[in-house]
């Protein structure tokens, strides 16, 4: 019913697989590996002051083309059909293959993509002028028919799109000219056009999509798109290869290197070994691997931290008991040492965050958002004030759900528990097995007895509204039934004037922060590792939708 945001536990395969192995098999070995390799995981790894993280949006461009580059994904993609590609591995690959109507740049701007022009003649109409002389990989020209067919797939429930929330207000999609597509909305929606810069607006060839049917995006059928790289081959379980599109229309984004082969090493220790040994040239991490220190000290490569829309948070899931009281939530938030979380749990790779939509989200009206953001509580430890707040708050036990076999979850849980004890709050940590954690998001029964649970989360487009849409009344992710901003969200979505929208959104932000329904803890930067052979990957969050590998090449 709202913002599409996702979380690492759902990493369909990645997280569970990695964690199972680590829990059952590598717990011992990890320590062994660390000591044997001289990588210092403890004392040598200086915690950095979180707030001063130097977050990049670019790395130096590659200067010479390479024949082949090997890149690791955190797990094997479930498929590369854009309408069901909604997670790290899938989008990392797809971003280089399929282009969208709009383009989200590494600096979080939205610029024209396959549509050279997007006009909004009435509040409920979007008219896209499709770029002329763009061809698919097989040489056929891109037409309005292809675009309309791609968007229409989201309207058919049988196709099972993962992007339905952005299409909920769409009435019709029609090719209104050879190079013109008109989208009619049931009501104005400020997020629709922005979403056209994500995989939700990706265009696949109509003929191939029809031919492939339910097999689109599988290893056998792949996709046919217009991007700077072409789908080459996918050996199920082993690797996926994309190659340079020699007839790509846009010289400024043309691929430098000839081919990229993606591998699917889910086990962190193995991935880090492969990166350090140079068998793998690079990888994006969405949570710091336990061996981040080893990568940072690698003699053969370098870690870059990038700006990101992802954050780490405690999601409220109840209206009852002590945690149902905003004063208790505020007190806990006030007392939590987010900088300690950043240095101890995230190994110095996560700055404290005070809002669900931090600076990276400010795609318009930056001043308005900055002024409002600066006024939000910083979450710096303020025990005295927190204790005052708690003086007349209800007593009882607060149960917090954390995911089993995840160091980040369990350590954060412990820190929250310790903070609560200092305040006199009794906090129980309930460890939920990794294979059941995903149910917390969809199944109210699974949340029974849990007052709040830890999660990563992110919005997709540079508009804070995208992050706050989770609080629509009745939304699946509005776990605690927070209702104070529902009307504002609807108003903001209908507000096409950026200044007006920013005003409404900062109001929503204020209410959400005061209620602490969701307690943002840390911003989670993109963690990019590249070895010394290569450079040029986009280190910032739009790598999920932007052809991040175009500039990738030799130094």
Partner 1 sequence: MKTAGLKASLTSGTARFLAGRMLGLAVVLLVASFLVYGLLYLVPGGPMAFLLGNRTGTPEQIAAIRSQYRLDDPFLVRYAGWLGDALTGDLGRSLVYRQDVTDLLAARATTTLFLVVYSATLIIVGGLVAGTVGALRGGRTDTLISGVSSLLLATPPFVIGVILVIVFARGLGWFPVFGAGDGLGDRLHHLTLPAVTLAAGSAAYLARITRACVQDELGREHVETAHSRGLSPARIIRRHVLRNAAVPVTTVVGLTVAGLLAGAVVVENVFALDGIGSLFVRAIMQRDFAVVQAVVLVLVASFVLINLIVDLLYHALDPRMAR
C-alpha 494/C-alpha 68 separation (Å) is 47
Token pair recorded at residue 379: 């979450």
Position 119 contacts partner 1 (CB under 8 A): no
For residue 501, give Cα distances in angstroms to 132, 190, 365, 504: 33, 9, 9, 5
| Enclosing H/E stretch for 530 | strand 526-531
Considering only residues 52-81, where is the footprint of partner 1 by CB under 8 A?
78-79, 81
Number of chain residues interacting with partner 1 (CB under 8 A)? 71
Q: Which stretch binds partner 1 (CB under 8 A): 6-14, 52-60, 341-349, 407-415?
A: 6-14
Position 23 contacts partner 1 (CB under 8 A): no
Position 43 contacts partner 1 (CB under 8 A): no
C-alpha 327/C-alpha 390 separation (Å) is 7
Among 214, 366, 375, 422, binds partner 1 (CB under 8 A): 214
Position 224 contacts partner 1 (CB under 8 A): no
- Using the structure block, give the residue that is written with the tokens 């009307």: 487
Among 50, 62, 219, 551, binds partner 1 (CB under 8 A): 219
Label residue 108 left, alpha or beta by phi (over 0 means left) and psi (-120 to 50 means alpha). Answer: left
CB 77 → partner 1: shortest distance, Å? Answer: 9
Position 236 contacts partner 1 (CB under 8 A): yes
The residue (of 243 and 255) whose beta carbon lies closer to partner 1 is 243
Position 439 contacts partner 1 (CB under 8 A): yes
Q: Is 523 helix (H, G, I), strand (E, B) or coil?
A: strand
> Contact, 311 vs 356, CB < 8 A?
yes
Considering only residues 158-197, where is the footprint of partner 1 by CB under 8 A?
158, 160, 162, 164-165, 168
> Contact, 241 vs 262, CB < 8 A?
yes
Among 113, 348, 475, 547, binds partner 1 (CB under 8 A): 475
How big is the chain by its Cα radius of gyration, in Å? Answer: 23
Among 169, 244, 276, 338, binds partner 1 (CB under 8 A): 276
Among 105, 250, 436, 510, binds partner 1 (CB under 8 A): 436
The residue (of 88 and 364) whose beta carbon lies closer to partner 1 is 88
The residue (of 405 and 550) whose beta carbon lies closer to partner 1 is 405
Q: Which stretch binds partner 1 (CB under 8 A): 23-31, 105-113, 295-303, 529-537?
A: 23-31
Considering only residues 340-379, where is the footprint of partner 1 by CB under 8 A?
none
Position 201 contacts partner 1 (CB under 8 A): no
C-alpha 513/C-alpha 38 separation (Å) is 44
Q: Which stretch binds partner 1 (CB under 8 A): 17-25, 43-51, 61-69, 415-423?
A: 17-25
CB 86 → partner 1: shortest distance, Å? Answer: 6
Position 465 contacts partner 1 (CB under 8 A): no
DSSP secondary structure, 6-75, as one string:
--GGG-SSHHHHHHHHIIIIIHHHHHHHHHHHT--SSTTSPPPPGGG---BS--PPP-B--S-EEEE-SS
C-alpha 240/C-alpha 455 separation (Å) is 30
| Helical segments of 198-315, H only | 206-212, 268-277, 292-296
Position 93 contacts partner 1 (CB under 8 A): no
Among 184, 273, 385, 510, binds partner 1 (CB under 8 A): 273
Position 269 contacts partner 1 (CB under 8 A): yes
The residue (of 122 and 476) whose beta carbon lies closer to partner 1 is 476
| Cα dihedral value 249, 254, 259, 262, nearest 10 | -100
């Amino acid at each position: 019913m709202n913002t599409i945001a996702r979380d690492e536990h759902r990493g369909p395969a990645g997280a569970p697989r990695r964690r199972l192995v680590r829990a059952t098999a590598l717990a011992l070995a990890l320590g062994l590996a660390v000591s044997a390799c001289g990588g210092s995981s403890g004392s040598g790894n200086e915690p950095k002051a979180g707030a001063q993280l130097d977050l990049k949006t670019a790395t130096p461009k590659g200067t010479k083309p390479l024949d082949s580059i090997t890149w690791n994904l955190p797990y094997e993609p479930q498929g590369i059909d854009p309408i069901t590609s909604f997670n790290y591995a899938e989008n990392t690959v797809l971003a280089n293959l399929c282009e969208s109507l709009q383009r989200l740049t590494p600096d979080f701007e939205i610029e024209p993509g396959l549509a050279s022009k997007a006009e909004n003649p009435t509040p409920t109409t979007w008219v896209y002028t499709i770029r002329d002389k763009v061809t698919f990989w097989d040489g056929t020209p891109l037409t309005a028919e292809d675009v309309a067919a791609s968007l229409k797939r989201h309207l058919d429930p049988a196709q099972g799109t993962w992007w339905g929330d952005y299409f909920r207000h769409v009435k019709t999609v029609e090719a209104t000219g050879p190079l013109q597509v008109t989208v009619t909305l049931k009501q104005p929606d400020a997020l629709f056009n922005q979403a056209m810069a994500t995989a939700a607006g990706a265009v696949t060839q109509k003929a191939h999509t029809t031919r492939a049917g339910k097999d689109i995006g599988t290893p056998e059928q792949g996709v046919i798109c217009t991007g700077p790289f072409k789908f080459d081959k996918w050996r199920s379980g082993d690797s996926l290869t994309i190659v340079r599109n020699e007839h790509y229309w846009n010289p400024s984004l043309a691929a430098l290197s000839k081919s990229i082969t993606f591998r699917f090493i889910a086990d962190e220790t193995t991935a880090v070994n492969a990166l350090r040994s140079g068998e793998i040239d690079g990888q994006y991490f969405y949570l710091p691997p336990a061996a981040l220190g080893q990568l940072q000290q690698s003699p053969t490569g370098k870690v870059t931290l990038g700006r990101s829309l992802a954050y780490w948070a405690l999601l409220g899931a109840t209206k009852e008991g002590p945690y149902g009281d905003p004063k208790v939530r505020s007190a806990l938030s006030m007392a939590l040492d987010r900088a300690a979380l950043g240095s101890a749990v995230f190994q110095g790779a996560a700055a404290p965050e005070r809002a669900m939509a931090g600076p990276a989200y400010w795609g318009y009206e930056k001043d308005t958002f900055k002024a409002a953001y600066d006024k939000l509580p910083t979450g710096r430890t303020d025990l005295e004030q927190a204790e005052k707040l708690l003086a007349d708050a209800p007593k009882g036990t607060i149960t917090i759900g954390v995911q089993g076999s995840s160091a980040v979850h369990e350590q954060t849980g412990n820190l929250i528990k310790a903070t609560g004890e200092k305040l006199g709050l009794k906090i129980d940590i309930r460890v939920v097995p990794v294979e059941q954690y995903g149910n917390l998001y969809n199944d109210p029964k699974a949340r029974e007895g849990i007052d709040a649970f830890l999660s990563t989360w992110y919005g997709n487009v540079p508009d804070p509204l995208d992050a706050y849409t989770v609080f629509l009344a009745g939304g699946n992710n509005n776990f605690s039934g927070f209702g104070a901003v529902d009307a504002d969200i609807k108003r903001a979505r209908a507000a096409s004037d950026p200044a007006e929208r920013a005003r409404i959104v900062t109001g929503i932000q204020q209410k959400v922060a005061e209620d602490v329904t969701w307690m943002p803890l840390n911003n989670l930067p993109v963690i990019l590792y590249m070895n010394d052979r290569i450079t040029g990957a986009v280190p910032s969050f739009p790598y999920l939708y932007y052809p991040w590998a175009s500039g990738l090449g030799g130094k």
